[in-house]
Structure 1
């Protein structure tokens, strides 16, 4: 009788005790979930932030989302035919690029695709990303939203932030009558510009959350027929 794939011994990389314990925990969680759920999906979660993970864990309470270092997830799935935990899982392991997450669920393919196609989260732009808008801080009193809303709906930015704007962000502000002011408009960025660190921080300072975060579906494994389906754009 051939030896069961589940009985194979897999050695994780040498590391410190605490790190090894965490890797072992994630490894065991993945294999336990493979036994429990019909489907496992690979999600692309590069640059993911806490609110997105909170949404996913809340919305998929009957399923299980596991994050971890790419190599640990690959080892848990099995990255060769000889080491795979179930038939053909090594094919799924090969698409765990970047920062992947594994979603284990019994929900159908149609339900999973409908959810992630509809899901989006407003987010702050990061350095090296493309600016989603033109943003210029108007001359005069500097308001907390930097001219994005009408003055009567906004409040002047606290005078305690003037030094930060001037020294850290290189915005030529001054204090007049206890309020932060600009003598002339200050252009932060144009739509489509590649943002540097300072520009991204200025947008965040003024509450510009105009970027959209989407979770990309990479591939999924069907435990009933041991097949892996990859999405074309990946």
Structure 2
């Protein structure tokens, strides 16, 4: 008897929520580092990518400790009022923890920190919903991949995918080819999923991962200094403290 098409194996995976013990451990970690280091920086991220944030963690591993995610937990650790603050002045920093932000504890001088993060930029591929930073028009001729120094045409087996993503191509000598210019995206307009995928396929990096320093707490004085506004477009989506978002902490 043939197997019924309705008989399907369904894998049920359960992602465990962060326990109270886990949150308490993170609060303790934040407070321990507030006592260990002189400065605590509040930072935001533009074009967030875990890979690039891990690079930052690695490069600062020997001189700093970084926490990212779980804003409500970080704020609770610092204390959001004068009565609750872990050390003098920290409540001023805690009250600014909103959205997708992180904390960086370090003894490095402020000028060293600001100069380093001003220079740290990592280009990356845009995602659906990002705004195009420039207009991209694909010219008449073979559709080219720009991942290498010398662009190469797409192989013939990629033609169906290119067509599915909106390109009107024809095969010329086994190469997907455009017979008319194609405006892939326009500067200032939001990218669709198809546009973002096409940009990635051709190797066009449209966004830049940046870290913007927002404020600095100095344990020596208890004062919080606000940083000058930057041109970094911050990711502002807030994490759900009761969800399964992972904290990203330096080793």
Q: TM-score, normalised by structure 1?
A: 0.82
Between the aligned partners of 2:200 and 2:213, the Cα distance in structure 1 is 28
Please tell me whether residue 118 in structure 1 is matched to residue 119 in structure 2.
yes
Structure 2 residues not aligned, in runs of 5+: 1-15, 231-251
Partner of 1:171: 167
Partner of 2:38: 38
Deviation at 1:134, TM superposition (A): 2.2
Contact 1:84/1:90, CA 8 A, preserved across alignment: yes
Cα offsets for 1:55-79 (capped at 9, x unmatched): 3112212211111211111111111
Contact 1:46/1:99, CA 8 A, preserved across alignment: no
Instruction: Please list every run of at least 4 consecutive aligned residues from structure 1 whose deviation after the TM superposition is greater than 6 angstroms.
Output: none
Cα 1:22–1:134 change in 2 (3 A) is same
Between the aligned partners of 1:47 and 1:19, the Cα distance in structure 2 is 29
Please tell me whether residue 29 in structure 1 is matched to residue 29 in structure 2.
yes
The alignment yields a C-alpha RMSD, in angstroms, of: 2.3
Cα offsets for 1:161-181 (capped at 9, x unmatched): 2222112x1211233443212
Higher share in helix: 1
Deviation at 1:17, TM superposition (A): 5.9
Mapping of residues 33-182 of structure 1, within 5 Å: 33-61=33-61, 62-145=63-146, 153-167=150-164, 169-182=165-178
* 2:215 aligned to which of 199, 219, 229: 219
Structure 1 residues not aligned, in runs of 5+: 1-15
Cα offsets for 1:119-168 (capped at 9, x unmatched): 2221223333332222112222222139x97xxx222212232222112x
Cα offsets for 1:76-110 (capped at 9, x unmatched): 11112222111121110111122111100001111
Between the aligned partners of 1:90 and 1:75, the Cα distance in structure 2 is 9
